Chain A
Amino acid sequence: MAKGDPGAPARGRRAAPRSRKATTGDPELVQLLTPSGERIESVTGPDGIEYRVDFTDEEYRGLYRDLVLVRKLDAEATALQRQGELGIWASLLGQEAAQVGSGRALRTQDMAFPTYREHGVLYCRGIDPIMPLGLFRGVDQGGWDPNEFKFNMYTIVIGAQTLHATGYAMGVAMDGKTGTDDGEAVIAYFGDGATSQGDVNEAFVWAGVFNSPLVFFCQNNQYAISEPLERQTRIPLYRRAAGFGFPGIRVDGNDVLATYAVTRHALDNARHGQGPSLIEAYTYRMGAHTTSDDPTRYRIASEVEAWQAKDPIARMKAFLEREKIADSGFFTEVDEQARREAVDLRERVLAMPNPEPSTMFDHVYPNGSPLLDEQRAQFSRYFDSFEGSAH
């Protein structure tokens, strides 16, 4: 587990291997680990801020472990859907670094508002990966307490959660929980397609005028189901922030180190009362939108291959090998752990019971409703009348 806090001294902290400034070829993109696994010591972003990370070897290995585990669990869920055990699955394949980097940048007190694809963030929050699978299996609709896990329920209506995050962040400020190192920050996840939604733009307005302690984290995975980015915007998404009066920055979303650095900086700004910011994590959805989608209808193989070469895990592995931070025994052990956790996840998904039909009447209202009491009673009488039959 990476608990890297760039500011805190720790034994075994490794100086970055090569002192280089940004040479990514794209001055707009913050990157600390190139696709070939070369480490860049620090990058001064277009915002003038110097981004760097200073992890111990153990923390580097922890990030790698997160990436592998998150990918493996995701693949297992995809397989479960293909075998009819999940109704649908929204794979994060290709977006592991964006999720692990930002997820590990969160502190315990921070609150996250996910879409329906943030399985990696959920994992990094220390939450059992089984938790969202009830939704995808169809045995519940989430069913967790957002405040218990500091992780809101998955939101399927595109962009709606950005307003919830904004209101929550307003509450944080009203509670006087900003302005110190221990302040609270909020992160709102959404995709490139969501930036066209009114709710997201309203959230930008709100967060700006109320100076809310909020990080808007946009995973630009290049597609809103079938529609490419060009159908959502004619400027880079991170530049939208300027119009709303807060900073925006684009980070290499396939670079877990840069994503961590940029997110940690933005969260710390928020917790210190510096207000909102927008991060565009530039990445690529390697798989389908969901298991119901067929991406071969709208994108060409060469594009997918080009992004394959930017794989977030391959570059981290190359870095660990080159710098001898990890050996083959480590990689084997991580793969074995991932396999075990995937098997465990599968077994627990298969063991999920279907809900009792009458539970559909539960929890419609905190204070109940006589109408529902009546319908539940009618339903139970009807349902029970089949007892003993083949029903």
Chain B
Amino acid sequence: MATETLTLGKALNIGLRKALENDPKVVIMGEDVGKLGGVFRITDGLQKDFGDQRVIDTPLAESGIIGTAVGLAIRGYRPVCEIQFDGFVYPAYDQIVSQVAKMHYRSRGKLNIPMVIRIPFGGGIGAVEHHSESPEAYFAHTAGLKVVSCASPQDAYVMIQQAIASDDPIVFLEPKRRYWEKGQVDLDAPLSEAYPLHASRVARAGTDATLLAYGPMVRTCLDAATAAAEDGRNLEVIDLRTLSPLDLGVVYESVRRTGRAVVVHEAPSNVGLGAEIAARITEECFYSLESPVLRVAGFDTPYPAARVEEEYLPDLDRVLDAVDRTFGW
């Protein structure tokens, strides 16, 4: 098995390269994705090797990126669109919600829009406003879209290729503050045998309480579980991976064992993914629960100035504080 140690960003880059190699209909489009390789260098070197018709530097207009990608998809292409930052996806929101998500439905299944919309999301990098947001609930709420997020280099490498190969339109959320974190990646394992795209997975087995997270918060929860272990608490961590549709079978199984669940995300708690997950756990695991499902999330403020984002974002201590509260019930 040929494994390599790669950053999450490089794993995405190699995954995109494989997708371009495997299917001539795959095109990458976005702002600065060409010579620059994207502001996070995720498309680094791809235009040089595949040409400017496969890796397209677009005009600076997000609705145009998604809207023209719809047309390319109708023509038979498989566009992979990069939105430069989470906070800049909103000009494209109409095209995503009213066109990308609904074309298959409106056509009674006769037309597919096999599009991937890549969005670096979340905070923790000290950025100015509009560069640190977590818009996943907007998309998870929209029928016709699927939404996934990767948390490790291995998943980044596999999931981006699975998303591109899927005929569903997929919003692919990349945890930008984890782009530089390293992990082992198996570059040779066949995609057909990979763990499914729309499936949650236990990231750390445990017995006392269940932490649920995705994207950047998986690392935070793993760190929290390590710290809790020193205090004698054995926490299970589940990487949700797919946000729409949610895959909660593994979650129910876990919560029935532990009796306690804490959902963690950077997005504000009000009407967020955590609310849906908590409601469904309550419906399915009611008699197993030792305490209410708790949420640790961003606050219901606009994303704050960078010098206070550490207090805004869920961290190890806030996660463990919530775990303590589930035990104090």
Contacts and interface: CB of A to CB of B under 8 A. Distances in A.
Interface in A334-371: 362-367, 369-371
Given A157-B94, A366-B167, A163 B71 contact: yes
Contacts, number: 143
Interface in B143-181: 143-144, 146, 166-168
Given A164-B70, A364-B143, A171 B168 contact: no
B246 A202 contact: no
Contacts of A205: 59, 61, 64
B111 interface: yes
B234 interface: no
A168 B107 contact: no
Nearest to B71: A167
A230 interface: no
B108 interface: yes
A148 interface: yes
A202 B67 contact: yes
B61 to A, nearest CB: 5
A140 B67 CA distance: 23
B226 interface: no
Interface residues of A, number: 45
A365 B94 CA distance: 19
Interface string B75-109: 11101000000000001001100110011111111
B72 A168 contact: yes
Contacts of B244: 371
Contacts of B107: 142-146, 153, 363
Given A168-B71, A174-B53, A145 B110 contact: yes
A202 B61 contact: yes
A372 B244 CA distance: 11
B68 A206 contact: yes
B60 to A, nearest CB: 9
B277 to A, nearest CB: 13
A209 interface: yes
B247 interface: yes
Contacts of A44: none
Contact of B59 (A140, A169, A206, A370): A206
A55 B143 CA distance: 50
B74 interface: yes
Nearest to A168: B71
B136 to A, nearest CB: 16
A370 B244 CA distance: 10
Nearest to A369: B245
B117 interface: no
A175 B75 CA distance: 10
Given A366-B168, A370-B247, A148 B110 contact: yes
B108 A140 contact: yes
A367 B168 contact: yes
A363 B109 contact: yes
B329 to A, nearest CB: 30
B77 A171 contact: yes
Contacts of A198: 61, 63, 91
B154 to A, nearest CB: 23
A142 B108 CA distance: 8
B110 A144 contact: yes
A203 B67 contact: yes
Given A160-B94, A160-B95, 16 more contacts: A142-B108, A146-B111, A148-B110, A153-B103, A153-B111, A160-B98, A163-B67, A164-B71, A168-B75, A171-B75, A205-B59, A205-B61, A362-B109, A365-B168, A370-B245, A371-B244
6 contacts: A166-B68, A199-B64, A199-B67, A364-B144, A366-B168, A369-B245
Interface of A: 113, 140-148, 152-153, 155, 157, 160, 162-172, 174-175, 198-199, 202-203, 205-206, 209, 362-367, 369-372
- Closest 10 pairs (CB-CB, A-B): A167-B71, A163-B67, A171-B75, A167-B68, A202-B64, A363-B109, A145-B110, A168-B71, A366-B167, A164-B71
